[in-house]
Each structure stands twice: as C-alpha cells, then as structure tokens.
Amino acid sequence: MADPTTQTRTLDHGSQPERFARGWHCLGLASQFKDGKPHAVEAFGGKLVVWENSKGELGVLDGYCRHMGGDLTQGTVKGDEIGCPFHDWRWGADGRCKQIPYARRVPLRARTKAYETVIRNDSLLIWHDPEGSKADYDILPPELPDIGNREVYTDWIWNTVPIKGSHCRELIDNVVDMAHFYYVHFAFPTDFRNVFEDHMATQYMASKGRPDVAGGYGDADMFLKSEATYYGPAYMINWLEVDYKGFVTEVILINCHIPTGPDSFLLQYGITVKKPEGLDDKTANFIGKKYADMFGDGFLQDVHIWQNKVPVQNPLLCEEDGPVYQLRRWYEQFYVDVADIEPEMRARFEFEVDTTKANEYWHEEVAENLRRIEAEKAENPESSDAGVS
Amino acid sequence: MASFVPTSQDTVEDQRLYTQARLVEVECLDCLARVGVKKNSEHQTSVQWTAEAQAQCPDLVRRKAAADGARLVHARCPRLAASIEAAVADGRIQIGAEDGY
C-alpha cells in the first residue's frame, strides 16, 4: 500500500442519507400557531399543516389532503378539524377524516400522516420516524424550571434562518469543534469537554472574548460558561452563564432545526434571559436582545462557513482537534433503523482537550494583531477603524 | 440502512484510526470497570466506555440516577481518573498522538 504521508489527500464527499433523522423536532414557539389559522411548516422534504383545536391543543398533519392532494395549509380551521380548501374534507389531529360535508360516509381508509406532539419549554415538538414508530416520550428534552414564568425569565426572542446547500450535520459538528470558537466566533476557549451518551451529546466550554477583533462572542471583558446538550438529533439546550465585568447573567439558548430537504434545513434559535435581581423588565429585555443579537451573529458566522464549504466524510484531524468521528458515530444512530443501532453509537464517550497549547499560540497571534493595529493607528491617525482582516 | 456512506475505503480506515487506534484498556482500581483510554497530550484525555463498564461504575450509576436524564453527567469519575493517572505514571498509556490520531 502507498505511504499516506507522501500521497495527496483527497476529500471524500460521501453520499448523504436518504432519510431524515428519527427523534423529536421543534417547529418553533407554540404561541405562533395559536391564532385559529392553519400554518405551513416545511419539514422532512414536504410540508406540514399545524393548527389549534377548540381545546387549545395543536394538531400536526402532512400538509396535503389524501383525497385529491389539496393544500391543507390553505384550508380553514373548522371546530377541531382542518378543512381542505378543495372539497372541504375535514381532518382531525389523529389523522382521520372526520367528515365529508357532501358525502354520507367517510371511506375507512381516510387516514393521513399525523405527528405526535408535545409542548415543551413553550415550543411545539413533534416526533418523526421514517420507520413509523410510536413517539418515545422518555427521551424528550427536559422541562426547564420557571421557563414560562415571565416574573423569572424574559420573553423569548425567537429567530429562524433558512439554510440552503448544507446538510444539517454541519451544524452538529460544532459540538466538538473547539478551534472554530477562536477563528469563527473570536473567543478563546479556556476549558473544553465533550460527553456523548445514549441520545445525548454535550459540549462544556468556558471562553473569553478576543481583544483584537470585534463582533464575536463579546470582547476581552466577557467570560462565557456554556453547557450545551443535544437531546436527540435536532434540539439543543444551551445553559449559558455570561460574566461581563463581574455582572453575571444566566441565559438559556435553544438551538434547534428542522431538516427541509436532503441539503437544506431551517435553523431556529430562541433566547431567554433570567431577569437579574434589581433590574426592571425594560433593562432585562434589553440584555436579552443584546445576547440574542450576539449569538444570532455567531450563527451567521457559522452559516457563512457552511454555505461555502464542501461536505467531508474523512476530515483530517490534528491532535488538538475534538472527537469529530465519535460525534458523527453518535449522530448516525438517528439515521439507521432501530434494529441497526450499534452499541458504540450510544456508549458513553468522554473527551477533554488541553486548550493550553492552542491558547499559547493564539495569544501570540492576538498580541501581534494588537501591535499591528497600534502601528497602523500611529501611521494613519485619521483612520480610527483600522482592524484585522 | 446505512447513512452518510463514505465513497472510499480509506475513509473507513480513517474512521477506525480516529475512534479505535491507540485506545489502551484501563481497569478502574476501584470498581474494575474497563474503559479505553487515549491521551494526545498531557491534559487531553479520551475515554471510551462500554455499556457494561457504565453499569459497573457505582459513581456513574448514582449520578445518572440523580440527574434523571435531565442533564448529562459530565464530571469524570474521580476513581477512574486516578486509575488513568496511575496507568500514565507507570507508562501503560503513551502520551502523544500519531499523526493526529
């Protein structure tokens, strides 16, 4: 066999999965669907209809009527059912056609795809499984205490970003990507750990902002402590403690997505801030907005990378890199039949990276950047915005 | 059904290298749970558990029950950490990666 150290390395783009992940997927804040109208959500290569029944419960069905293919998302909510705009077939949240106004009987086979739903942390979650299994309520993301209590937390700031041309695994890869926090988000990671186990994958990280570049995760005065766990393939809770000049704020960031096609997904993120004691609502909301903007910009920095990169099945790692292959092995469990899940996909794996070496190098680079900025300022005193490219 | 299928045999070999190569079996001096350990540097440690080892570690079992599935137990078991340190000290675990793996 040829010596791999003298060969040119090639990127294996691989082939993408032909299915969408099994597990709980978040469609967004439940409140947005509660206006008596049908709502369209693109998901799993098709379209879903979401509506609220008379009891305040949300129903989720495949968006197209099994009669003649009418678009239910353009229909009308009638009582507890959604009526098709084409011939007014009335569908219930259990997936059965309840009534056809012009017919004596409903065909026994009038059943459509219905999704099991749960409201969790103010959001609507649905169970998706290509094998058609019953929803697994044991692996739901945990309920966050007091999250719906406006005395304790600010209102959600909820944003969506459609991503085209990337498989959602690109987003998952970030869980292990210690170094990108420096290059993409302009923060020094000072502590970094991963644990994968069962249906969960976690990243623990502490970081502080870079003084030489603006627009990342804060500036040199900002310290972040972050614990971020994926509960299944598409819903992450990120507990954040932001220390800005000694003023500590607790932030909850929900990072979730819905795959919409083989290489597209809808990224969603929601932010709520625990109201610091002694602060009025206006100030607390202002802080919430500020952090939502900061993490929102962070996602856009990632998005820019994803939309310009190529898929790679064989990433080449250096010894300081995180466990990309182990994370992908964990993620694979959601794409194979339950019967084909290998024990190592769910077995506990722990990783702790030494950030000392990388940080020594990065601190030198930052010091050099700061020297250059100073020198440029001295040469060119009028230009105040000399920055790092 | 497989997913994310590599198109090259070399990729399959890479998967093996990065997930299995250099994993040294370490037995906990306390509960005798066996895990795979790899150290790319002094302060970097990978620990690969098996379901069997997880069930055998009383520390992990206790903390997992207490967390009730809400948050992942992340702190390392201190007895296992000590066992890994002992294995490093007597040279059973080599520190330093081989070309990144």
Which phi and psi (to 5°) does residue B31 adopt?
-105, -5
Q: A169, A251, A240, A254: which is closest to A206 by C-alpha?
A: A240
Q: How far apart are CA B45 and CA A76, in angstroms?
A: 57
Distance of CA A200 to the CA centre of its chain: 14
Residues 32-51, chain B, touching A (beta carbon < 8 A): 40-51
Burial of A330 (0-12, 13-18, 19+ CB in 10 A): buried
Nearest residue on chain B to A141, judged by CA atoms?
Answer: B70
Q: Is B91 on the interface with A (CB under 8 A)?
A: no
Tokens of A357: 């070496």
Distance between B98 CA and the closest CA of chain A, angstroms: 8
B47 bridge partner residues: A350, B37
Q: A96, A95, A88: which is closest to A68 by C-alpha?
A: A88
**∠ Cα A244 A238 A340 (to 5°):** 155
Within 8 A of A195 by CB-CB distance, chain B residues are: 72-74
Name the residue ranges covered by the structural domains of chain A: 23-139, 157-366
Cα dihedral sign, B88-B24-A352-B58: negative
- DSSP-derived letter for residue A3 is -
Q: Is B72–A197 a contact, with Cβ atoms under 8 angstroms apart?
A: yes
Q: Is B46–A350 a contact, with Cβ atoms under 8 angstroms apart?
A: yes
Secondary structure (3-state) at A71: strand
The size of chain B, in residues, is 101
User: Mean per-residue pLDDT for B23-30?
Assistant: 96
Q: Are A243 and A215 in contact (CB under 8 A)?
A: no
Within 8 A of A197 by CB-CB distance, chain B residues are: 54, 72-73
Of the CA atoms within 13 Å of residue B17, those in its CB half-sphere come to 17
Superfamily of domain A23-139: Rieske [2Fe-2S] iron-sulphur domain (2.102.10.10)
Reading chain A (389 residues) residue by residue, the pLDDT tens digits are 567 788 899 999 888 788 999 999 999 999 999 999 999 999 999 999 999 999 999 999 999 999 999 999 999 999 999 999 999 999 999 999 999 999 999 999 999 999 999 999 999 999 999 999 999 999 999 999 999 898 999 999 999 999 998 999 999 999 998 778 777 777 777 888 999 999 999 999 888 877 777 666 667 788 889 999 999 999 999 999 988 888 888 999 999 999 999 999 999 999 999 988 888 888 888 888 888 888 888 878 888 888 888 889 999 999 888 999 999 999 999 999 999 999 999 999 999 876 766 677 778 888 888 888 889 888 887 654 444 43
Secondary structure (3-state) at A222: strand
Nearest residue on chain A to B70, judged by CA atoms?
Answer: A142
| Minimum-distance CB partner of A352 among B44, B72, B97 | B44
Q: Is B9 on the interface with A (CB under 8 A)?
A: no
Specify the higher pLDDT residue, B85 or A301.
Answer: B85
Q: Are A51 and A58 in contact (CB under 8 A)?
A: yes
Within 8 A of A12 by CB-CB distance, chain B residues are: 6-8, 10-11
The size of chain A, in residues, is 389
Buried-state track A78-115, b at ≥16 Cβ within 10 A, e below 16: eebbbbbeeebbbbbbebebbebeeeeeeeeebebebb
Q: Radius of gyration of chain A from Cα atoms?
A: 24
| Minimum-distance CB partner of B5 among A14, A195, A320 | A14
Q: A30, A77, A29, A84: which is closest to A58 by C-alpha?
A: A30
Which strand (E) or helix (H) includes residue A164? strand A157-164
Nearest residue on chain A to B8, judged by CA atoms?
Answer: A12
Q: How far apart are CA A313 and CA B98, in angstroms?
A: 20
Q: Are B8 and B14 in contact (CB under 8 A)?
A: no
State chain A's maximal CA–CA distance in angstroms. Answer: 87
Assembly ipTM: 0.95
Q: How far apart are CA A265 and CA A168, in angstroms?
A: 6
- DSSP-derived letter for residue A67 is T
Name the residue ranges covered by the structural domains of chain B: 23-89
How would DSSP label each residue in A189-200?
A: EEEEEEEEETTE
> What whole-number percentage of chain B has pLDDT above 90?
65
State chain B's maximal CA–CA distance in angstroms. Answer: 44
Architecture of domain A157-366 in CATH?
A: Alpha-Beta Complex (3.90)
Q: Is B46–A18 a contact, with Cβ atoms under 8 angstroms apart?
A: no
A52 bridge partner residues: A58
Within 8 A of A316 by CB-CB distance, chain B residues are: 100
Q: How far apart are CA A116 and CA B84, in angstroms?
A: 45
**∠ Cα B23 B26 B27 (to 5°):** 150
Q: Is A320–B46 a contact, with Cβ atoms under 8 angstroms apart?
A: no
Burial of A33 (0-12, 13-18, 19+ CB in 10 A): buried
Cα dihedral sign, A172-A173-A177-A183: negative
Distance between B34 CA and the closest CA of chain A, angstroms: 12
